[in-house]
Amino acid sequence: MAKYSFDELRQIIKTLRSENGCPWDKEQTHESLKPCMMEEAAEVAASIRIYKETGDDTNLCEELGDVLLQVFLHSQIAEEENRFTIDDVIDGISEKMIRRHPHVFGDTNVKNSLQVIERWEDIKKKEKEKQTWLTSPLRDIPIELPALTRTQKVLKKADEVYHISQDLKETIDNIRQKLDELEVQNIQGDESDARRIGGLLLDCVNLAKLSKIHSEEALVDNLEQLISSIEGKN
């Protein structure tokens, strides 16, 4: 059975955006599609979990297609505005992969994956020096990331760039102190309580960072266990 090609998909998207195309597709902008991309990325992550649990990769294949659709839609919108095309997207990522893998495409030598990551970060840092829209290393971390993931990345970057970090004991002491404050105070759900609870969450994420645990995944795993426990009792 013949399969659709890259160029055919490109034409399908172009047709959907054309004068006689789909009303919904024609109305979309980069901004309106942003939630779609975020949702599709989450669904890819879910499909990876499903594949791990069941060994069935059907959903993974489908969800990757949905992400690819978003890439084509954004590229088509940009092409209509005479800014860039899907060819530019492919060319850009190809150049980046070659540039960031000098140990594969050049004459640089590395001993292990740790050195690969270090070289990658060095090259990335030099690239970002040319990106005038970035105001600081910490602001470089997208606010669109899930809160726990973004917090952990900010804390990690603050340690790397500004050498601002607490040790494990300090972090645990801070957690105890905030818990004591919440226990002593009558919780009213006001601004001060929100500040204390926010600080507690921040310390918990820092504890995960120091323990080399991904806070987002740890919370998701425990939430799934909770759901299973609740469902098992009902």
How far is Cα 97 from Cα 104, in angstroms, rounded to an integer? 10
Average pLDDT, the chain: 93
Helix, strand, or coil (residue 213): coil
Residue 190: its H or E element: none
Quote the tokens at residue 2. Answer: 């013949």
Asked if residue 148 lies in contact with residue 205, where contact means CB atoms within 8 angstroms, the answer is: yes
pLDDT-derived band at 216, boundaries 50, 70, 90: very high
Quote the tokens at residue 113. Answer: 């994956």
The structural domains of the chain, ordered by start, are 1-113 (1.10.287.1080), 132-223 (1.10.287.1080)
pLDDT higher than 90, residue 130 = no
Q: What are phi and psi of 57, to 5 degrees?
A: -100, 15
Task: Give me the pLDDT at residue 121, please.
Answer: 87
pLDDT higher than 80, residue 146 = yes
Average pLDDT over residues 161-189: 89
Q: Residue by residue, what is the 3-state secondary structure of 15-50?
A: HHCCCCCCHHHHHCCHHHHHHHHHHHHHHHHHHHHH
